[in-house]
Homo-oligomer: A and B are copies of this chain.
Amino acid sequence: MKNTFGNNLTVTLFGESHGNAVGAVLDGLAPGIAVDEEFIRFQLSLRRPVGDISTARQEPDHFVIQSGVFEGRTTGTPLCIVIPNENTRSQDYGDMRGKARPGHADYTAYAKYHGFEDPRGGGHFSGRITAALVAAGAIVLSALKGKGIAVGTHIARLAGLADRDFADWNADIATLAKKPFAVLDAKASMQMVSAITAAKKEGDSVGGVLETAVTGLPAGVGEPWFDTVEGLLAHALFSIPAVKGVEFGTGFDIADLRGSQANDPFRMEQGRVVTTTNHNGGVNGGITNGMPLLFRCAVKPTPTIFKAQDTVDFMQKQNAALQARGRHDPCIVHRARVVVDSVTAFTLYDLLAGRFGTDWLA
């Protein structure tokens, strides 16, 4: 299925960094979902580079909905959204052809596409393509919200600096929804910005960890094998460039606990089954248990840096030195979080649509 994801809601992604446009096709949306173009614009603004701590490439992201919306609502037929590339400076990259940026996909793209890949700005591998995920994601996030399902992501760690944990789930998600730099603790937020600026000055980059919470999910969604909630989410999340790890609930730290510590005791609360801890991140046996879904993504430091690096010229088959130019991000963690929200929305909508039918989310 390659660049398509999902069973009952599918997302198909296309585009290159310096080509005509990037875009996505959403198929399987319920008919009648209100499409809020203002919210799409806002979500795209959260992904857009911010001041000093991001790339100088500023794209206006003038999206066009080509199909699937009529009189402001989804029709239920495929929705194609296209975002033209307007600010491209391909000459920045011309003489780098063949020189693999370490940590980037230049060499693997060549190994796969034999040199026919579009090399300008990373081509189809560029973070630019995530703009399409965010635009499409905004529509799906709205639909979920209409069913009482809220998704929010914060920067749990950046350059070794930690944000506070989620406390009041719904309030924190609401707070994050409006923040361009999604950190719950104001002091940590300032420190993180400073850390990005410092790395930038050195021509270097930093990474971090994004933590996501989802509230309002019913219990009983997901499959026992293969199409587990964790498996489907991880499948989608790992396609976000730079994500190198995904963990649920207590994640890797659960490995050092005993069963008596890691098990989440069940209790009745106002006629509802709840757990008193959430080490399992809202999922048991691959299926939601009605508690908040909680997971984290490890985001590596942006591979394109301005320090000299050892590499190869894979076309000449020889060692080479690399000195990157162009416009790049010293950190993409803050820009990636709205991509995480979007990809999470696709995955959950897909599971819910399979469970409750096409019309449930309208």
0/1 string, A68-94, CB within 8 A of B gives 1 = 101001111111101000000000000
Q: Is the CB of A112 within 8 A of B76?
A: yes
Residue in contact with A109 in the complex, picked from B112, B267, B287, B360, CB distance below 8 Å: B287
Judge whether A226 and B220 touch: CB under 8 Å.
no
Interface centre among A75, A100, A305 (most CB of B within 10 A): A75
Contact (Cβ within 8 A) B245 A238: no
A290 within 8 A of B: yes
Convert A257-284 into 0s and 1s, putting 1 for each residue whose CB lies closer than 8 angstroms to a CB of B.
1111111111110010101100111011
Contact flag A239-B286 (CB < 8 Å), given A28-B2, A209-B252, A265-B311: yes
Complexed CA–CA distance, A206 and B117 (Å): 47
- Tell me which of B22, B205, B319 contacts A258 (CB under 8 A): B205
Establish whether residues A247 and B250, one from each chain, have CB atoms under 8 Å apart when the complex forms: no
A251 interface hit (Cβ, 8 Å): yes
Are A256 and B159 neighbours in the complex by a CB distance under 8 Å?
Answer: yes
**Is A176 part of the contact surface with B, judged by Cβ < 8 Å?**
no
Do the beta carbons of A285 and B108 come within 8 Å of each other? yes
Whether the Cβ atoms of B12 and A25 lie closer than 8 Å is: yes
Given A107-B289, A299-B255, A12 and B31 touching (CB < 8 A)? no
Q: Across the interface, which residues of B come within 8 angstroms of A219, CB to CB?
A: 107-108, 111
Docked Cα-Cα span, A12 to B18, in Å, equals 23
Question: For window 23-57 of chain A, which residues contact chain B by CB distance below 8 Å?
Answer: 23, 25, 27-28, 31-32
20 new A-B contacts, CB < 8 A, other than A77-B224, A108-B222, are A21-B67, A23-B66, A75-B118, A102-B263, A103-B280, A158-B255, A208-B255, A226-B239, A244-B280, A245-B248, A247-B252, A257-B301, A259-B303, A260-B305, A260-B309, A261-B301, A266-B311, A268-B312, A355-B359, A357-B360
Between-chain CB contacts (< 8 Å), 6 pairs: A5-B225, A68-B124, A103-B284, A104-B284, A125-B285, A231-B236
